[in-house]
A and B are shown apart, each in its own frame.
Chain A
């Protein structure tokens, strides 16, 4: 695809750590006009017509894959979905062979979800096509971070100065890392809260506040981003039981009501209701969880548009016609 050199984000989107605050803001600003397309009767513009995009999902995913696919289709790209089940990966093909084959098929973009940290960069270093990281191991999930930022910005009308606490299994969370980078670059105050066994040992060096009691986190925060607690963490001995986790760190309505201010609730999903988040919180008045899902499509459209060489200043015009 032409336009790599001029692309305002560079060739790939591998994480939020390498991006500048200006680049992050650009993506969020570009997502704004794209939101409207999803409200139309015919949810489609010809912006990426003729572009071929491969969604390479080596790890199970429903919402991220569907969200990317909607974004691609609404921009009129041709898409192919590859999952590890049923692919040559199951027959032992390596990631580098997969990359070479994709390259040989002259595709334009790859969206990759992979269980190994660094897999997106591995691919990006070896192919000419644009690579978008849709989650790599415990590293980053940049589009999730971006949609969280967009949702927060929609609500607070700014990011700078707001206080966001990420709650739960930060140690294993790629969402947490992308959030920490994105929020800090845009000037938010960031904290984490969870059992120490689920926080990176070196978390203090990332310059974030650490709360060991969820009550303190709720009292401090303008928004909580509540991470999913995975069952295997319990089996691996990081916490004694899901029940205890809920009692010590679970975000319940009672705990929220004791706070001195309203606290916005985010969750990247899928949720374990009754574990990290109670249902009346997930479905409550301060929950923006479904807004996150809606924003996810717009953010991904913006990323696809910008990486393909779309001009930021023409994003509004791209709603109506091709810009490539």
Chain B
């Protein structure tokens, strides 16, 4: 039986209950036992008491989109290192995308991830199964068996589903199991060969660009297919102002569409590619300042439901090459919260409660996961953070094996102090 945990005197922010009070959070038997009222544990020695004065206690963050590279590229990341990186970033749970090697497209592969995660004993890891066998875009994977083994969604992320028919079928079939279809929106013939956003910077640097429409064409296709089928389409890593308008259009018509945006698309523009910096190479690419502005506002107005990391570790020498040939993606688990605080909260775009909603409550609700709330009796997945503290990003200190971040050396606001899963502290900032 685990020890009890008393988080004393913090600011409790739980948007799932519209709660924002100063008080104690008491955790026993892996559950939230009491919330808000003062708890006196006297001299009991079976309770760990942590002073949270001046800090925020919130439901644990949940990342619905990360890449943990195991199986296949354990040199780049493992489920264990990824889960520890997640814990350090304040995430009590993460959803692992299936573009591993072999692809997570069957119940055995799903079971493997769950066993590895249990062994790691850090943040929870929920597998996402592939939409299509081998992510080849040809025939559906066995959703039912994968969900039975623990998958929480399906996605061919990393690759778009080129066939509209296959996407329609996936949306219909996924309804049977009540899971979202997480959608990588990229029209492949428009995006082919693209290395960055199409615009003035790509024209100057002589890099093939990916136009906004590559994302938007697929976004509207799949919003229309979700409307036709009643399936739940979750649009991954949205990056353009046009996509935001299309999502709004869908939601206004009652389509079962949700969407996520990544911290890097909320904070960086295509200008970051200047000098051919491969740490600014990602898919979808960093867009224009107008896109960033529209995405920030869409987080504020609710058009975008979730902020997800798209954590994509790569070995340093894979990024140390010609820009067009370098792989896409950056690590994000350990910087996501602070990037969001720096670019959204500190600048007044959203408040702390809204950030917790986007990083915890909404992900839990949309992917039907435990957590995302501090209600009494629920799983005790908790994050404690200081929204005002600042720190300098030093990739050498990451728990992730990946070091590929465009934020290296930057001073960011917002620091995670503690992460607990089932009331067990899995990360605590060394002070």
Chain A residues proximal to chain B, CB less than 8 Å? 17, 94-96, 114, 116-119, 121-122, 136-140, 174, 177, 200-203, 205-206
Contact = CB atoms under 8 A, between A and B. Distances in A.
Contacts of B209: 201
Given A118-B323, A136-B206, A138-B206, A205 B275 contact: no
Contacts of B36: none
A94 B320 CA distance: 9
A122 B276 contact: yes
Contacts of B199: 201-202, 205
Contacts, number: 68
B206 A201 contact: no
Contacts of A122: 276, 321-323
A-B interface, 3 closest residue pairs, ranked by CB to CB distance from nearest: A139-B206, A118-B276, A138-B206
A119 B321 CA distance: 8
A139 B205 CA distance: 5
Given A118-B207, A122-B276, A140-B206, 12 more contacts: A94-B320, A117-B207, A118-B276, A119-B322, A121-B276, A139-B206, A200-B202, A200-B203, A201-B198, A201-B203, A202-B199, A202-B200
A110 to B, nearest CB: 15
A239 B258 CA distance: 39
Given A117-B323, A117-B324, A201-B198, A177 B275 contact: no
Contacts of B203: 200-203, 205-206
Nearest to A96: B320
Most buried by A among B276, B317, B324, B325: B276
B159 interface: no
B422 to A, nearest CB: 45
Contacts of A114: 322
Most buried by B among A121, A138, A174, A206: A138
Interface string B323-364: 111000000000000000000000000000000000000000
Contacts of B208: 138
B204 A121 contact: no
B423 interface: no
Nearest to A17: B204
A146 to B, nearest CB: 18
B109 to A, nearest CB: 30
Contacts of A202: 198-200, 202-203
21 contacts: A94-B317, A96-B317, A116-B322, A116-B325, A117-B206, A117-B322, A117-B323, A117-B324, A118-B205, A118-B322, A121-B275, A122-B276, A122-B322, A136-B206, A137-B324, A138-B206, A139-B207, A201-B203, A202-B200, A205-B203, A206-B204
B204 A177 contact: yes
A206 B199 CA distance: 11
Contacts of B82: none
Contacts of A119: 322
B317 A116 contact: no
Interface size class of B (residues with CB under 8 A): 20 to 34
Contacts of B207: 117-118, 137-139
A214 to B, nearest CB: 22
Contacts of A116: 322-325
B129 interface: no
A202 B320 CA distance: 29
Most buried by B among A121, A137, A140, A206: A137
A205 B200 contact: yes
Contacts of B321: 94-96, 122
A203 B325 CA distance: 25
Nearest to B199: A202
Contacts of A17: 204
B89 interface: no
B200 A117 contact: no
A177 B320 contact: no
Nearest to A171: B203
Contacts of A206: 200, 203-204
Contacts of A140: 206
B211 interface: yes
A98 to B, nearest CB: 11
A174 B321 CA distance: 20
A88 B295 CA distance: 46
A296 to B, nearest CB: 21
Nearest to B209: A201
Interface string B202-241: 1111111101000000000000000000000000000000
Nearest to A174: B206
Nearest to A181: B204
Most buried by B among A96, A140, A200, A205: A200
A176 to B, nearest CB: 10
Most buried by A among B206, B276, B320: B206
A205 B203 CA distance: 10
A200 B204 CA distance: 9
A48 to B, nearest CB: 29
A201 B204 CA distance: 11
Contacts of B200: 202, 205-206
A116 B276 CA distance: 11
Given A117-B206, A138-B206, A203-B203, A95 B211 contact: no
